[in-house]
Amino acid sequence: MSRINLDMSLVERARRAARGIADGIEPDINASTTTTIERTVLRLLGINGIDENGVPLPNVIVEQAQAAGILGDGIAYWIGSAMVHEGQSAAEVARRIARGDLRLEEIHPADEKAVREAIAPEAARMCAHIKGRRLERERLIEELDAARPPYIYIIVATGNIYEDVTQAKAAAKCGADIIAVIRSTAQSLLDYVPYGPTTEGYGGTYATQANFRIMRQALDEVSRELGRYIRLVNYCSGLCMPEIAAMGAMERLDMMLNDAMYGILFRDINMRRTFVDQRFSRMINAYAGVVINTGEDNYLTTADAYDHAHTVLASQFINEELALRSGLRPEQIGLGHAFQMNPDMTDGFLYELAQAEMARAIFPDAPLKYMPPTKYMTGNIFKGHLMDAMFNLAGVISGQTIQLVGVLTEHIHTPFLQDRYLAIENAKYIMNNARHLGREISYRAGGEMERRANEVLTKATAMLEQVAEIGLMSAISQGMFAGVKRDPRGGRGLDGVVKKRDGYYNPFPEIFMRELSSPAFSPKLWRVQAQAQAQAQAKTKTKTKAKVEAPGPMQAQAPVESQAQAGERMDSGALPHVAGGEGGCGR
């Protein structure tokens, strides 16, 4: 239950505006595919590896299809046609194309039904693998997940995956619950995914499938050693957003940074490219049971955290709506925000706490990700350590889920192991010492915190309604988010946006959405959450049983009939309609 009194009619208006904003870009999302989406389809069909020049096979094949002008049919259609005519698997066809033994433009179009029958087993095999990795995670969570929120989130960023492993294990042994491996600077601008393990990177380590596998294995080892599950995070953004999502799904990553607008605002990636890519990438994350993290905290690095707090909330509403349309559950949508106000302002902590409580009240089911102070870290490690402590206190009081702990040497150098140890010690001390403090606190009705939270909500609602009126692309071009202006026709990657043709074929959205749309789909993400759900279900069953055994005079047997009808729908495989779902858009 919320401790801060908000005008919930404004929340409903904000969500209604966010739906209108999403509706405005939906036609373009449905009408387009991209080079990275088609490369992702190939990866999901089991096509991986590099050619003799070190170019990833998905890039080789998609570039050939785009040059031939046939990518709008969907690469799955042409791979399937080759499978039908050549009697070979998708991987065998891919290797022949890479060697030059087979040219896509020379493949005779096969019957659509035959293509689908050829592709179906390959697609089903990968979906079964991803689902198996999801269930594997759920078993480990049930066995080992002993942590309580806020979960302590730590970053490693050496450039060498093997050194990252050393630092990640050390952080876990110090008390970290979540390890994020920062990507090498500007990898988001590469229109391909590097191949194999990497030992050189600037400001971070390349996101590759091999690196994911190495770190996942290392964290599983330390999880068993410590008796608690350590989660792995990477970055699913940029020009290869859905490809990295697919790799993470295959290697059982637990979280992905996956924002709908970050690449546009902070990497100058084309709007159309980003909006189309985010849909398929989030669909993959949803199916894999991955928790996404959005990047609203970055807004406050370019804009004032007090004056522009409403832009963070507005973006959270938009990210939430776009994520829901991709099949993500609210429990998988880790909306981001940050503790970034000027530490010298009077009552700064009050305003930070108001913002954190407001976010928790508006998004009660979301695993909110709370980011530490960085903008005003000056190199004074003593003041910085105190600022991080205040941030940790706000996090535990307001019930944040994911707490990226701040490090006292921020803005001086890449943290040493001992710096990270002190940061984790700071967080553990406060989160334990103030564990249930939030339960004892109520905020004064009509007080400054309530006023501030409603002021931010009012501004965010007005902003969303304005964006809904002019369109999201126009709003971004005017600099309404983070004070950054982008041209809808500019940015990187527009040449990779392809209009779908009639009959476009991608087998995976339909497969994913069939399960994601089912009420039975409920991935286990946190043990605490699973226990709470089990308790709630038990209470519901008890209440239902009591109603059935002793119906009131006006109840008759309606509850029993409703449950029976629901059971018939489940048995028949009928699925409820999901607004904005991809099942009918063929992508």
Q: Annotated active-site positions, please?
A: 262, 297, 369
The answer to whether the CB of 220 falls within 8 A of the CB of 141 is no
Strand partners, 404: 153
Q: What are phi and psi of 540, to 5 degrees?
A: -65, -45
Buried b (16+ CB within 10 A) or exposed e, 89-113: bbbebbbebbeeebebeebeebeee
Helix (H) or strand (E) holding 402: strand 402-404
- Residue 415 is given by DSSP the state P
Identity of the residue numbered 205: T
Q: How many helices (H) and strands (E) would you count in the chain?
A: 21, 11
Q: What kind and span of H or E run contains 426?
A: helix 417-433
Query: Which residues are paired to 233 by β-bridges?
Result: 180, 255
Angle, in degrees to the nearest 10, between helices 508-516 and 271-287: 50
Token digits of residue 489: 């026709």
> What are the residues whose beta carbons fall under 8 Å from the beta carbon of 567, sequence distance 6 or more?
none
Q: Quick one: which of 227, 135, 132, 217 has its CA closest to 179?
A: 217
Q: Regarding beta strands 151-156 and 402-404, do their DSSP bridges make them parallel or antiparallel, or are they unpaired?
A: parallel
CB 36, CB 9: distance < 8 Å: no
For 185-250, the three-class secondary structure string (H helix, E strand, C coil) is CCHHHCCCCCCCCCCCCCCCCCCCHHHHHHHHHHHHHHHHHHCCCCEEEEECCHHHHHHHHHHHHH
Euclidean distance between CA atoms 394 and 574, whole angstroms: 45
Contact indicator for 239, 36 with CB cutoff of 8 Å: yes
Task: Tally Cβ neighbours within 10 Å of residue 69.
Answer: 10
> What are 531's two structure tokens?
């226990």
Could you give the CA distance from residue 222 to residue 141 in angstroms, rounded to a whole number? 14
Using CB atoms within 10 A of its CB, is residue 568 exposed (0-12), middle (13-18) or buried (19+)?
A: exposed
Are residues 44 and 471 in contact, defined by beta-carbon separation less than 8 angstroms?
no
Distance of alpha carbon 553 from alpha carbon 548, whole angstroms: 12
Bridge partners for 56 per DSSP: 50
Contact 292, 368 (CB under 8 A): no
Exposure class string for 144-154: b at 16+ Cβ within 10 A, else e: bbebebbbbbb
What's the Cα-to-Cα distance from 242 to each of 40, 63, 191, 238, 520, rounded to whole Å?
Answer: 6, 17, 12, 9, 25
